[in-house]
Amino acid sequence: MTSELDIFVGNTTLIDEDVYRLWLDGYSVGDAVALRVRSGILEQTGATAAVLQSDTMDHYRTFHMLERLLHAPPKLLHQLIYQIPPSRQALLIERYYAFDEAFVREVLGKKLSKGTKKDLDDISTKTGITLKSCRRQFDNFKRVFKVVEEMRGSLVDNVQQHFLLSDRLARDYAAIVFFANNRFETGKKKLQYLSFGDFAFCAELMIQNWTLGAVDSQVDDMDMDLDKEFLQDLKELKVLVADKDLLDLHKSLVCTALRGKLGVFSEMEANFKNLSRGLVNVATKLTHNKDVRDLFVDLVEKESSQSCEAPSCCAPSVTPDGCLHRMADEQSRFAPKIRTHEPRPPKPSRRNFNHSATGPAPYFFHSGFIEV
């Protein structure tokens, strides 16, 4: 009896980017072959369906063997079994740790535990992302969290060093880790208009200014935990709304700075007292864990209630919400200087945020509640 074998011989490990994407997306070999046939690859190459099937299976076997190395990317760089050029190694790592925004929005701020993992079936159905891909992304989040949670030093730098990710992707993972550690509520319906980019933007500023690492670079878990003393000191901001003379002075200074720069300046000026009080009330309650977790909910609820339009109607720069954000920018100039240290100099962000659908939450973090 004879049998046929398909043998592939080579030195450099071949990586087909299209097949890698299909594997990452959780498609079976059969589904991947069908999608490749539909793309017209047989006509382009002159290959037979049998050859395409064997080629796809070979790539899948290669990716499966590489996966254990991708769990600890430095191992991929130092291993000698697979001859993969550095540029291809970087591609493998970056794409393996890439994630779908629809998926991360479903788990952002949740505990990365077995309980959350049990919900992946529902998340897969809701988002249209395959269950296998959901599991890979969730396991990546959990793996990064476990590696960096006890480390000292910059959270972004630790992620980059141990997982060899690009600067942008490392910042995204730092945001995911930060939100998981502090359990911020992001899943409420009223927050759904906010994108992951909006939350990641807030996380970066909070890490730079609100954490223990912003106070002392030698403390443990420096970029993971919020500075409780700083949150306690935010109560001092009450003076901005409790003292009429200070409130009038504050309003005068802010309005002078913003006059002519806003299309809805008159609405902001007319509602200044309510808007300022709303921001201060949110800040002064952050001494309680539940209020910290509900920070974004409170921002949207309490600040949007003072606005003339809903937060997602149009760009914040041309809505009363935009007035709130710009007013908050100016508020830092006149609030009490309650921080006694210089916050860590922020690194320039390389993320391009779509602020056209952004409401109160992200712009709050340019306020005096960060840099006062």
Q: How far is Cα 158 from Cα 249, in angstroms, rounded to an integer?
A: 44
Same domain, 289 and 162: no
Domain assignment present for residue 88? The answer is: no
* Domain shared by 37 and 105, yes or no: no
Task: Tell me how many domains the chain contains.
Answer: 3
The model's confidence at residue 281, banded by pLDDT at 50, 70 and 90, is confident
First to last CA, the chain: 82
* 8 Å CB contact between 361 and 299: yes
Residue 201 in any domain: the answer is no
195 located within any domain: no
Q: Tell me what percent of the residues of the chain surpass a pLDDT of 90.
A: 49
CA nearest 250: which of 365, 368, 361, 370?
Answer: 368
pLDDT of 122 over the 70 cut: yes
Give the whole-angstrom CA distance, residue 230 versus residue 344: 14
- Ranking 164-168, 212-216, 305-309, 337-341 by mean pLDDT, the lowest is 337-341
Q: Tell me, yes or no, whether 74 and 102 share the same domain.
A: no
Q: Judge if 76 and 107 occupy the same domain.
A: no
Q: Are residues 328 and 283 in the same domain?
A: yes
Same domain (yes/no): 35, 115: no
Whether 4 is covered by a domain: the verdict is no
117, part of any domain: yes
| Domain membership flag for residue 216 | no
Question: pLDDT at position 217, please?
Answer: 55
pLDDT for the residue 331: 42
Do residues 344 and 236 share a domain?
yes
Q: Domain check: are 262 and 342 in the same one?
A: yes
Same domain? For 335 and 263 the reply is yes
Q: Vertex 169, ends 163 and 174: CA angle to 5°?
A: 75
* Whether residue 357 is found in the same domain as residue 246: yes
What integer is the mean pLDDT of 11-37? 95
Q: What does the pLDDT average to over 92-100?
A: 98
- Are 244 and 333 found together in one domain? yes
Whether residue 54 sits in one domain with residue 123: no
Band the pLDDT of 67: cuts 50, 70, 90.
very high
Q: Which domain covers residue 264, as residue numbers? A: 228-371
